[in-house]
Structures are given as structure tokens and as C-alpha cells.
Structure 1
């Protein structure tokens, strides 16, 4: 109890004060810029639809620094599926009130988010992150490659993913991106001249390998067309971001696990301050450059993540980061908060904390709940007696 009081009265107010001061400095810099590109994504505290908290993080994509975090509790919006849209709405409202003019926004493929930005924020250029679409298509291609007579699809998986990234990064607008992406279906059939004038022919040299091409009018081609060229995929391809992606934002979500693991329950204020602490930690190391060897050459590492199923990835180690925010937090705690905690605790109490999840339900009194409670092993007239199978079936030993 003493530890809990110390955390609530001293540590959490210190984190809140430090974050607001740090966030104010970030927003001052964003207000000076005419073109602010942000990336947004939701992180929930548990898998599936049983989540309690959803934290929506907004990142400045030019500096890879977190500029805002909105924590939404599921009973505030009625369902966990509405958390991401609500988090985005709150974050954009906060940034607009702070004087930040958002020019472009990169998010995942969330349909509610796309509709909201399209209808309510038409002045913001909305883009989709390439990795999220690539991940969804890869899952479907992996399932397809396991089917009978679909072995050649496995050969093309990596090339298809590379083509998606190339289509997004090498196009000047969404229509050109779609034209390059749809040329894929012709290309894998060894047809390199296309009907779309925005991309009339392939740019690669002729290939001498005749065994890799898929035959026209086969089930593999039909399946690929159904997966890769359906209406929703083409709509998302048109919105793919040509410049900025949200990979750094996904990295921030991994950092949150160090401060707020998903197997531990936290109060609303506890969760909020842990998110702020994670953002302070992430922002301090976001500006670090790639590490170099003693000879001055850039360092690289090869990793084999489990999700890649045997494929390797090349990572670029960063220089060792400092933890100056910890020193600043300590100074605030001992030199300001402990000396006079009243104003800091008042700021903490001013935070709007939603009610418990059970507060949305009708809670009967104990005197009403106990009489209505019946055990599954009890029946009228049998209270307090040991029941046999015959008792449960009211004398009939035949199984129900």
C-alpha cells in the first residue's frame, strides 16, 4: 500500500510532467513546419476482442519521434473494434488545437480510419503503409502455395512482395502505382507489354529462364488474380505511401512491451504514464545513427526471424543511446515533486479517467444476487444433500 501511494503521489506525476514538457517542445517544432507528415497506429493491451486499453500513437515521420499518445478504454466507445478510430479522432483534435497543420497521414488498412479521413478530413492526404498490405497478401500466398499444383506460386512470393514496394516507391501518383501493380499478372505469364498507357511495358531485360513462368488460364493464375487484384486490394494499392512508412511506429510498439507487458494489468493512469515513459525512451534514441566499425565502415547484422520462415533479414545496428530522460525525471522527482507534490498531483487528478469496465453494467445488490444463484449441481428440493446421478435425472438413471 505504501509503494502504491508513493507511485501515485510522486512517480506518476513526475512522468506526466516530464512528458508534457517534452511534448510541448515537439509541438513547437511541428507548428513551424508547413508540411507535417504523421504516422498513426493502434496498439492494444491484449490480443483479440477482449482488450481493455487501446493506445493510439502518432509519430512525426520526418524525425521518427512520438508526438502524441491517446489511451482509450473499450467501454468508452462500446466495443474494442472502435478503439482505433476513436484514438485517431482524439489525436487529430489535440494536434489541431495545438496549432499543428497535418498535411499527410500514413496508417494501416483499417476501414473505419479510411472512411473517417476521407469524409471528415478531406484536406489531409491519407496513405496506407506498404508493409501492412504486403503482410496480408503474403499470408494468402503462403496458404495458396500449400495447395496442390501451386508450387510455382512459392517461387514468385518474394518477387511479388518486391514488386509491391517498387510500385509504391517508384510512382508519382496512385493511378501509376495501380498500373505498375496490375502489370504483375501479365509479367508472371511471360507477357511484358501491357494495355495501360501509364505503364505500357516492363523495364527489365529479357529473361532466359523459361521454367519460372506460369501458364495462362490455369488455376494458379485464377487464384493469384483473385487474391492480388480484387477491388479492395487495388483500392489500397492506390493509396500506398510512396515515401514514408510506419515501420518505426511498429518498433515503438515493441518498446512499449518493456514498460507495459501485456501479461500484467495496470490502472488507467498507470498505463498512461507507462506509455509516456516508453515514448520518452524511444524519442531519445530515435536520432541515433547507424553504428560503424573501428575502421569506419557501416555495421550490419543478419538475422533469421521466426516469422520469415527461414528467410534472413539485414539489420543496421545503431550507436549506443543515452538515458538523459532518466536523469531529468530523477531531478523532477527529488527537486520538485517531493518538495511540493500538491500542484503535480492536481495535474494528475485533472486527467479524465474512465470508469471501470463493470460500471457499464447493472449491478444488483448482494441480497438480491444470492437467492437467485443456483449451482449447476443443485435442483429444487435437493439443497444441502449429496446428489447422485439418479438424483440429477430425478430418478431416471438413463443418461440425458
Structure 2
């Protein structure tokens, strides 16, 4: 057995090591074998020759596994085997087990009668993760390494179970997929899973940056059998261990104890912040912020046998952390929008209410106010029916609250565009606020009435004129500058359907289109027919003319209708939410819409704009071509997630106080 000598020079002149030396054997036959291996003459005097540990392969040492697992530090020795032979090639057990190329510092002497070395640790790279064998460690180390990797023990878990240690070749589909892990971006999955030694795997599988926040680190689906492969066998003595597990939702804790060498290890599948597993809170926040349903997510998890916490835990996370963060984030973005609007001279806003159920049985009514110039939702008011004495009064109350907020922030209104709700008309008239009607709402009402008339006897010709009449509504609103001019242009449709294109009203005496002669006289209506009589009665009613005079000449509420479609994703009408829960989902819908409403049109790599075909319900059995927009972004989700983990969880008091300050109406039924 060789002895370790300090302060000697290695026999290899190119070796720069200055410690960890082994003297030549006293046995002459073994000394000649060493000399022959390194290429020196057999007559060389070996009394002053030494070889450092760098020139021995790992198999040359009896306790190389102890080094490989970081259980040997600078105070411990490497024991050479009886048949160990140096080599001029740089095997370097230290470079295989450590991230540096320096040799281990060995002590001046050792007790040769000692059977085992003391189990002390050393900061060297191992096949296990950093600090895995210590009481406190990072879980990313275990999850980042492939489960089939050779841990360097005498008997692998596969051998212990009687299975082949050769990894099964992955299907071609897995091999063709590009790895997303930055540590393996230059090597394929096939190379990582084949017969590589531990050195190449350790160099390619790097642990995540410790500066990365916990909720931003990557996560993986890990099977229970793959996790147990890491703990069934003791990494020190390679014997079977006693393994106990505890689960809390998606969190798994594993305790390993070896009855032979008393080795112990405690591993957690995810960090624990305070007393809450970060993965559980992160999943709850991801489900809530993305507008998904926990019930549906639970079904997916059950189908895949993924472990999940209960719905009560999700509700507790929402009340304590998620909803306070959503409200705070919305208020912060709303303040920025209102500050920008207060600096403009005149602002054109649109308003519309969405009820959570049809007819007059709605419990909630959400009134949205939008800046029509920038297509931005600036305010949302949630009204419960028992606050105002019935669901028919919710729209007026929502508008009043929104206008009060805009006035308190110094926003100067030019006009407001809404539908033709009677209570809203009266309220804005009393407030002396310029009020315009949305053209789409009026066109929708007239088209329904025209369709009903066209189904009557002797009125079938009206069906051919429906599109023209609806187009005439939009043209009247867009081309007129005053209320009398809108009425004059609107009533000319009665002359136009009779092939008369000159009119008595001086505000619009003649049609602007090119007059063409037609040989088909059947398409024109006659003044003495039932169809023309009912059409004239519908289009010249007192209320119809009054509404035409107030059609919006510039902006419409179509953007608000698009926003209502976004709300369906976050707060469906067929799902019952509590007041704060529905309010937070409305805020999330508004943040999603504001971030993605004005996305540009998608293009190919050559710069060709992309289009898509849609089949809107308003155009029965017809399709239309629409520009295809780029993929939506979810920056508000990332910002809210950072707020939850970095601020709300650390000090939830100011955020929960803001949530508690929101007045919650009493339930409809006690």
C-alpha cells in the first residue's frame, strides 16, 4: 500500500500538481511495472520518484465512490488498490468528480489498519446535486438529472431488481423533439441517455441558477417509480434503504434511512415558503390567473393520476394571496390609464352592461367603460341586483359609478356611446352629457323586425332589401354631421326602394350613387303594396326617427362586444362565483383585453399577411375573411405572479386590507 507524501514533484515533467503524491512501491516487481507503464527505464532509482493522484484512473482507488459522492475532503486520503498502475494519460479522478482540475490534498499519514475513511464532505462536483446529502438542499438537483443515470455505486437499482442496466432506446418521436433545457441544448436526448460516463453527464446537466425566483424555475412531471429509484439504494453502502414519503397536494417529501450505515437524507420535491409548498400555491395562481376552472383541471389530474390538492385549498389560496394581488394589480394599471385620460382635452367613452344570466333574473351586472379612441377598458363596476332593487336598474347604477370615478379623476368627457337603454337615456339627458347610440344595436333591432315582416304574406320582397336597409343605417350615421341631416338621409330609403332617387328634403335632395337603368322591374317595391306600407310604418315611427338622430357618427361599441366575449373565458355565465371572485375575474379579463386588443396582423416568413375564415352568427350561412392576428401575450399573468410570491406572500396585510375595503353586498337569500 502506498503512502502519501507532501511537497514532492511528479515524475511527469508536464504535470503541474504540487500535492497528493504516491511514492513508488518498495516491491521491486511492482516498481518495474510502474516504470514500464510510464515509459521510464527499469534501472531507474525509484527511491525519490513520486506520482500524483492525477495519473490514476478512478478504479485504481478503493474509496473512489466516497470521493464521487463528496464524502472525502482535503483531510482524507485516497487508498490505492494493490494492482493500481499509473498512466501518462490524464485520468484525473478529481477532474471527473470535481468542477476544478486541482488534485485532492492528502494528509501526511494515515492509519493503514482503518477499514473505512471518515464520512466527511468536500465541495466537489458529484453525480448527486449540490448539498443533496446535507439536511437542507435544493430539489432542482434531483429533478434536473435523468433518472436512468449511473450513480456510481457498486450495484445499481436496476441490477438490484434484476433488470438490465442498459437504458431502453427512446421512441423516435422523443429523439426528434428539441430539448428545452439550456444545459442540454448542444446534445441530443439520445446522447444523454446512452452509455455516457458520469463526467459527461455531470458537465451537461447543470443545476438551475440560484438567483432565479422559485415560481419562475422550470417544472417537470416526475413519476413515483423514477423518484424512488433515487432513494431505494444507499449511496454509501449500496444496500437497501428504508424510504418513507409524505404528500401534501402536489408536494412530496421523501425521508431515506439506511439501517446499515445510518445514512439519512430528507428530500422535498418543491421549495416550501413559510408553511406553504410553493408548487401548490403556484398551481392555484396559474389556474386562477389563466381563467381556467379548477374543477376541469381536477378532472385532468385525475385522468392522468397526477396528485392534486382539494378545492378548499384552492379557495384558501385565492382568498389569502391571489385575489388581493389581482385587485392591487388592476388598480395600479387603472390609475395609469386614468392619469393618461385626465391629460386629454376631450374623451369619448363607451359603456355597456353584461348580466350573468338572461332576462330579468340576473344576480350580477358588470358595467364596463372603455376609451373608444385607444380601445382600452378603463373601469368595471360590478352591481348586485339587491343593491338597486332589481336587475333592471343595474345598468344605470353601473354607469353612475363609472362616471363618478371618471369625474373624480379629472377626466373631461366629450360624449358617451351606449345602447338605447331608456334609464340610461334619461340619466344622461338630466346630466347634460352628449349621448350617442351604437349603430349595431339599432341595426340588430330593425333587422329582427324586418325578418319577421318578410315572413308574412305578400311581404316576401322585403327579404331582398334587408341587407341594403341595414347598410343604409351605417351609411346614414357615418356620413351625417347633424341630427336633421341623419333623419333626411334615413327617410330617403323609402324612395330608393321604389326606384326614386330624387327627394323633397333640401338637406338631401338627390342620391349620391350612380343611377342605372334596370330591366328587372320586379325587385322594386310599389307604393300601394302591403310590403311597402309595413316598411314605411317601421322606418318612420316616432321612436325610430328619434333614435336615428342620435346615432354615433364616429365610434361604436363593437369593442365592448369583443370584450364581453373575453369575459366569457374568465367568468362564464353558467358558473356561480362569489362577489369578490367574479370581480377579480372581470379585472383579469380587462387586463387580458387591454394587453392583446390591438395585436398586429400575423405574417408569414416572407412578410405576407395572413387571413382566416370565420362564420359569425349574425351572418347566417355566410362566411367572412378576417385578418389573423399574432398570438396573444400574457404579461399580466407574469406580473401578477411576481406580485404574489415577492410581495403579497411576504406581507399580505396591505393587500388584504384593500380587498376588505371593497363593499360586498348581502346575499340575495339569507
Q: Using structure 1 for the length normalisation, give the TM-score.
A: 0.87
CA distance in 2, matches of 1:3, 1:132: 40
Q: Residue in 2 aligned with 1:227?
A: 538
* Residues 185, 89 of structure 1: alpha-carbon distance in 2 compared, 3 angstrom cutoff: same
Q: Residue in 1 aligned with 2:662?
A: 351
Please, which of 500, 510, 529 is the counterpart of residue 191 of structure 1? 500
* Residues 35, 9 of structure 1: alpha-carbon distance in 2 compared, 3 angstrom cutoff: same
Please, which of 459, 476, 487 is the counterpart of residue 167 of structure 1? 476
CA distance in 1, matches of 2:510, 2:422: 33
1:71 Cα deviation from its structure 2 partner: 0.4
Q: If you compute each CA radius of gyration, which structure gives the higher value, 1 or 2?
A: 2
Gaps in structure 1 of 5+ consecutive residues: 360-400
Superposition map of 1:204-215 within 5 A: 204-209=513-518, 210-215=521-526
Please tell me whether the aligned partners of residues 49 and 81 of structure 1 are also in contact (alpha carbons under 8 angstroms): yes
Superposition map of 1:1-400 within 5 A: 1-120=312-431, 122=432, 124-209=433-518, 210-359=521-670
Structure with the bigger RCO (C-alpha within 8 Å, sep 6+) is 1
1:297 Cα deviation from its structure 2 partner: 4.0
Please tell me whether the aligned partners of residues 473 and 490 of structure 2 are also in contact (alpha carbons under 8 angstroms): yes
* Residues 104, 142 of structure 1: alpha-carbon distance in 2 compared, 3 angstrom cutoff: same
CA distance in 2, matches of 1:294, 1:235: 52
Q: What do residues 237-264 of structure 1 show as CA deviations (whole Å, max 9, x unaligned)?
A: 1111111011011000010011001111
1:314 Cα deviation from its structure 2 partner: 3.1
RMSD: 1.2
* Residues 24, 135 of structure 1: alpha-carbon distance in 2 compared, 3 angstrom cutoff: same
Gaps in structure 2 of 5+ consecutive residues: 1-311
CA distance in 2, matches of 1:133, 1:2: 48
Please tell me whether the aligned partners of residues 527 and 533 of structure 2 are also in contact (alpha carbons under 8 angstroms): no
1:204 Cα deviation from its structure 2 partner: 1.4
CA distance in 2, matches of 1:217, 1:277: 57
* Residues 224, 126 of structure 1: alpha-carbon distance in 2 compared, 3 angstrom cutoff: same
Q: What do residues 215-254 of structure 1 show as CA deviations (whole Å, max 9, x unaligned)?
A: 1121111111121221111111111111101101100001
1:334 Cα deviation from its structure 2 partner: 0.2
Give the count of matched residue pairs.
Answer: 357
Please tell me whether the aligned partners of residues 63 and 286 of structure 1 are also in contact (alpha carbons under 8 angstroms): no
* Residues 237, 292 of structure 1: alpha-carbon distance in 2 compared, 3 angstrom cutoff: farther
Q: Secondary structure at the match of 1:224?
A: helix
1:321 Cα deviation from its structure 2 partner: 2.4
CA distance in 2, matches of 1:328, 1:219: 63
Please tell me whether the aligned partners of residues 303 and 312 of structure 1 are also in contact (alpha carbons under 8 angstroms): yes
Please tell me whether the aligned partners of residues 435 and 550 of structure 2 are also in contact (alpha carbons under 8 angstroms): yes
CA distance in 1, matches of 2:396, 2:528: 42
Please tell me whether the aligned partners of residues 63 and 287 of structure 1 are also in contact (alpha carbons under 8 angstroms): no
1:295 Cα deviation from its structure 2 partner: 4.0
1:9 Cα deviation from its structure 2 partner: 1.0
CA distance in 1, matches of 2:409, 2:366: 20
1:154 Cα deviation from its structure 2 partner: 0.6
Please tell me whether the aligned partners of residues 186 and 192 of structure 1 are also in contact (alpha carbons under 8 angstroms): yes
Q: Using structure 2 for the length normalisation, give the TM-score.
A: 0.52
CA distance in 2, matches of 1:193, 1:307: 33
Q: Secondary structure at the match of 2:378?
A: strand
